[in-house]
Structures are given as structure tokens and as C-alpha cells.
Amino acid sequence: MRSRTLGLAVASGTALLAAGLLPAHASAASPKSAQEGTVSAADLLAKVTSCSQISNGKYRTDEETSATVPVCGKNGAVFWKADMDIDCDGQRTTNCNEDRDPWYQDDTAFHQSDGKPLKAETLPYVVVPSTSSIWNYSNAGIKGGGVVAVIYNNKVEYAVVGDTGPTQIIGEASYATAKALGIDPDPATGGAESGVTYILFKNSKVSPIESHSAAVSLGDQLAKQFIAGN
């Protein structure tokens, strides 16, 4: 839901520092562990070593970078390897608001079961690029509330597709996703410059979208199917 230019030159050091200093789990309302489910990061990564490109072109990770990231297709999923910018959009909370996030917007593309925007601070969600000539996520079987396995530093975090972003930029997830993975979640200065793998399971949907435990349960099931089918 945003268009931003993130200078992550300093953030890489910040993220490394945060990974060592911040606990790899969020608040009580957020995921308790960054290794969720029974499928290891290594087993998932072993299935995405090569890319069969399904996007018509490639994406930039930030406005100032060149387009180097393709969307890749696998049996039952699509994936990409990119950075992680922090999305703090949705309901106003202590760490996600106009004062903390220069690009803050009070809405998300997909909403909770009660019609309210999602809560980036407590719900792990991933941002997909808005539909363009490069790629149409819905045509690929990706929908709001779909399950995503986010892998970083040998940790697996399950999230949902929760928001849409710029048409030419990829690699963004919610405050809660970053925090659970040990990435600095600060929306202005945090994030990870590289090393994040996003595996989106086709035709999946968490109900209700705001239930992280439901995302973990379904994600673990789909991860096992993904391992078996690829």
C-alpha cells in the first residue's frame, strides 16, 4: 500500500545488531517462536535452489536498486528471494503509527474478519507487488490470507498475504514478521538487505486471516506437501 525509498545501508548493521540483541520472538499476541512447524528451513530452501521464472520481468528491492528479483514457480507454490522492508500499515499500535513510520497508512489491502485493517505489529504478514505487466499474483493462485513461509537465518516463520505494495518493488513484510525472525522491525530504519526467502503456497487461505495459529497449522501442512511434491 506504499511507495517508499529505503536507504538500508545503515540498516544492515542495525539488523545484524538486532539479530544478536533482540529476542527471536514477539509479544504474547505475536508468534512465540521463529522456528514454527515441523519442516526445517534447510529442507524448504533445498527445494528453491533454482528458479523457473513465471514473472514477465524482474523486480527491484528498493526504488534506487536495479531489477534483479524474479518470481519463480514450483509445484504448489511461488517464491522469491529478496530483502525485507518493514510494513507497519494497518491499525494504529504502539510501534506502528505516523510517529514511528514516515510511510504509515492506516489501511491494508486485506482486512480482518471484522472488516478492520490488519495489525502489522502483532500479525505476521507479507506484502505482494500490486498487479502489473510484470506479474499478476491472483492469476498465480495467490490470494489475500494465503500462507507464506518466510525463511531467514535458518528460521521459518509462517505469515499470511496481508497487503499489496508498489508494482515494481518486492520484498516487504510486517513488523511482526521481522521481529519474529530476529530482524530489526523499526519501520524507518530496520529491515534486512538480503537473505530472505518467501514461499507462497498457491490457493491457500487462512481463516480468519488474523489467526496466526491457523497460519502456522496450515503452513506446516502445506510445507510438508511442498517438500513431498518438489
Q: What is the DSSP string of the chain?
A: --------HHHHHHHHHHHHHS-SS--TTS-S-SS-SSS-HHHHHTT-SS--B-SSS-BBSSTTS---B--EEETTEEEEEEEEEEE--BS--SSSSTTT-TT--S--SSB-TTSPBPBTTTS-EEEEEPS-SS--TGGGT--TT-EEEEEETTEEEEEEEEEEE-TTB--EEEHHHHHHTT----TTT--EEEEEEEEEETT---SSTT-HHHHHHHHHHHHHHHHHH-
Instruction: Indicate whether 10 pLDDT > 70.
Output: no
pTM: 0.87
Please count the structural domains in the chain.
1
Q: Which of 3, 213, 193 is nearest to 89 (CA)?
A: 3
Tell me if 4 is assigned to some domain: no
For residue 71, which of 175, 181, 205, 171 has the smallest C-alpha distance? Answer: 171
The answer, yes or no, to whether residue 139 has pLDDT greater than 80, is yes
Residue predicted with more confidence, 146 or 5: 146
Higher pLDDT, 111 or 16: 111
The answer to whether residue 2 sits within a structural domain is no
CATH of the domain at 137: 2.40.40.10
Residue 2 has pLDDT above 60, yes or no: no
- The predicted-structure confidence for 55-83, as pLDDT tens digits, reads as follows 999 999 999 999 999 999 999 999 999 99
Q: Is 162 a domain residue?
A: yes
Residue 34's pLDDT band, with cuts at 50, 70 and 90, is low
* Model confidence at 221: pLDDT above 70: yes
Q: What is the mean pLDDT of the chain?
A: 89
Output the CA torsion 60→132→178→85 (10° steps): 40
- Residue 215 — very low, low, confident or very high, per pLDDT cuts 50/70/90? very high
Phi–psi pair at 177, nearest 5 degrees: -60, -50
- Which one, of 159, 196, 151, lies nearest residue 175 by Cα? 159
Check the CA dihedral 163-166-168-169 and report its sign.
negative
Residue 211 within any structural domain of the chain = yes
Domain of residue 180 covers: 9-229
Residue 3 lies in a domain: no
195 belongs to a structural domain: yes
Q: How confident is the model at residue 32 (pLDDT cuts 50, 70, 90)?
A: very low
Q: Which residue in this structure is represented by grid cell 529491515?
A: 191
